[in-house]
Amino acid sequence: MSLSPLPSASAGGTFALGGMLPVARLGFGSMQLTGPNAFGPSRDAEGARAVLRRALELGVTLIDTADAYGPGVAETLIAEALHPYPSDLVIATKGGFVRGPRAEWRTDGHPAHLRAALEGSLSRLRLERIDLYQLHRIDHRVPLEDQIGALVELRDEGKIRLIGLSEITTTQLHRALEITPIATVQNQFNLADQRAAGLVDESARLGIGFIPWFPLATGGLSRAGGPLGELAAAAGVSPSQLALAWLLRRSSTMLPIPGTRDLTHLDDNVRAAAIDLDDPRFAAFTEAAGW
């Protein structure tokens, strides 16, 4: 299959995670490489591996995953496709969210579980250290200090390099920062859902990377007839490109991780890195979204 040349993902700029690990700001999320609702095996394992390899060809240097995707499926696919890893690739994974027998999501922030989860991720990813390990959800049955403390211990043992948090409030971020430096936060955020705007701004103020999950609203923003259809057509780009370019423009510490199982969609997403939204267009798109 012949694919036309594309701009590198780094065209959208770079950001140093924790001030020490530079990555292209436009990354890749692996959740969609598994079965429906991120549960069960991949529908097309070889196709998933091809997408991962193509992402690296296009300059992606940040891949986001989690032990709960599958569970274990996404991490295994990443290792099968990409190991041994390029020196500039950062694989960010998560623990503390587990799957029940009916694919339901459950929190488990007990220190013993977090340690076991990390060991499982290290094994599947074929790594000795996770560059960015994120608490997937705060478990409200366990003191936050114990959950963060478990990750600090693992970092001190050399098994984690940087610590991140997922689905938190600004207050929780500041509580965590009293315990240890936090490199990234990951909350739902996109052009159609900006409820985490305050956390985006606070993360930027603190120099913390913000990883918006569902950056395309699970595809809702990428449909030609969707809310961005007319705006994207007028700008001469696809709706998904517009949504991603808006995120990159929204904050200098924003790290979108659009995921896909399709090579064509991957190429389309990476083209967003080269789109430069000027102030008037950025303001017009923000206003049109109703926020």
Q: Which residues are catalytic?
A: 69
Q: What angle do helix axes 239-250 and 279-288 make, rounded to 10 degrees?
A: 110
- Which long-range contacts (C-beta less than 8 Å, at least 24 apart) are formed by 232-239? 235/281, 237/271, 237/272, 237/275, 238/268, 238/271
Q: Over the chain, what HEC string results?
A: CCCCCCCCHHHHCEEEECCCEEEECCCEECHHHCCHHHECCCCCHHHHHHHHHHHHHCCCCEEECCCCCECCHHHHHHHHHHCCCCCCCEEEEEECEEECCCCCEEECCCHHHHHHHHHHHHHHHCCCCEEEEEECCCCCCCCHHHHHHHHHHHHHCCCEEEEEEECCCHHHHHHHHCCCCCCEEEEECECCECCCHHHHHHHHHHCCEEEEECCCCCCCCCCCCCCCHHHHHHHCCCHHHHHHHHHHHHCCCECCCCCCCCHHHHHHHHHHHHCCCCHHHHHHHHHHCCC
Place of tokens 């904050």: 251
CA separation for the pair 206, 181 (Å, rounded): 11
Which tokens in the block code for residue 15? Answer: 């950001």
